[in-house]
Structure 1
Amino acid sequence: MPRSRRTSSARTSSERYRNRHGRTLRSSVTGPHLPPLRTRIDSFEMTVASTADYLKSVWPDELADVKFEIGAVPLGLPEAGAPVARWSVIGHRVILYRLPIQRLSKLHRDDELHKRMIIESCVFRAVAELLGKDPWDLAPDRFRHF
């Protein structure tokens, strides 16, 4: 079947750059050739790094040779009915799994503060497991409100 000449020749340059609602196409704020200014991965890494630095300043002798790493997901499948691991402690390595922490955590408010708090709590619980302490005992002065 031959094409209609009307559709191919009648298009103007402005029609090519419009979607079906008549608006122009949208791009990101940073432009099409620049990366986003701050991604979820970057904010996750910054939160883990700042929390790890804080804990290393509070417990310098115990955490001197501890390495903090970030993984996407834990290797292998969990057993049936078992929860997905949020972190692993292997020797002097603490591996935090980004996707289970970010996507499987139940937040009562979905904002930046609560997302940061859940990441910090996972770092605290992983370090507490490494040191054999209660997470609340890692920074007792931080939780005093007087």
Structure 2
Amino acid sequence: MNTQPSEPGFTVSLDAQFPDGVPPSGVPTKGFRARRRNRHGRGMRGELMLPALPGSQTRSEKFDALVVDSAERLSELWPDGLADTEFLVEEIPDALESLMGTSERVPLGRYGAAGPEGPASVTIFRRPVESLVDTPGQLRDLVHEVIIEQVAGLLNMSPEAVDPLYRKFRGH
């Protein structure tokens, strides 16, 4: 089978090309694909999901919002103790692969005291936390509990002393 074109210089293109670069009158100047997606000049009428609706946020953005809500609540309860504390979200712990072969639990968060390398920090791991819950309400409660536990470790206090609502809404 001959795969060479029968005439030299013969090509097929779906985009309009004109020898002098100027199309004759009445010939569309847009390529086939551009005309096809925007028939009659209407195009996309708007966004499929408005930014204010809950479905427009990704799981990661929703999780970040839960962390911010919990951090704000605890910052109001402990303004002096958490004044310079950073609240961070990471996808998974650093040493997750090494933990998989052992019988240790996967950490849900960690805290670090202030030092020469930076301010105090509370980190929560999104994937391990999300894997333990079934509903958005459970996720909200678990995120808040993990942050309370990490702040309690940072402030060297019991979780119940950090937030009186600790584990009040779960069946524990």
TM-score (norm 2): 0.57
Residue 60 (1) aligns with residue 88 (2): no
Aligned to 2:105: 83
Alignment match of 1:128 (pick from 142, 152, 161): 152
Identity of aligned residues (%): 24
1:30 positional shift: 3.1
For residue 74 of structure 1, give the secondary structure of its aligned residue in structure 2.
coil
Greater fraction helix: 1
What is the aligned residue count?
108
CA distance in 1, matches of 2:49, 2:138: 26
CA distance in 2, matches of 1:100, 1:121: 14
Residue 98 (1) aligns with residue 117 (2): no
Could you tell me whether the CA contact under 8 Å between 2:129 and 2:139 is conserved in 1?
no
Residue 138 (1) aligns with residue 157 (2): no
Aligned to 2:38: none
CA distance in 2, matches of 1:117, 1:41: 16
Of structures 1 and 2, the one with the larger relative CO (CA 8 A, separation 6+) is 1
| Greater than 2 Å deviation, 4+ residue runs | none
Residues 20-52 of structure 1: per-residue CA shift (max 9 Å, x gap): xxxxxxxxx539xxxx60221111100100100
Aligned to 2:137: 113
Residue 40 (1) aligns with residue 59 (2): yes
CA distance in 2, matches of 1:115, 1:69: 17
User: Which one has a bigger Cα radius of gyration?
Assistant: 2
Residues 69-112 of structure 1: per-residue CA shift (max 9 Å, x gap): 11111112226111111111122111111001111x2x4xx222
CA distance in 2, matches of 1:124, 1:43: 19
Structure 2, gaps ≥5 residues long: 1-47, 114-119
TM-score (norm 1): 0.67
Could you tell me whether the CA contact under 8 Å between 2:148 and 2:163 is conserved in 1?
no
CA RMSD of aligned residues (A): 2.2
Alignment match of 1:70 (pick from 89, 106, 126): 89
Structure 1, gaps ≥5 residues long: 1-28
CA distance in 1, matches of 2:109, 2:135: 22
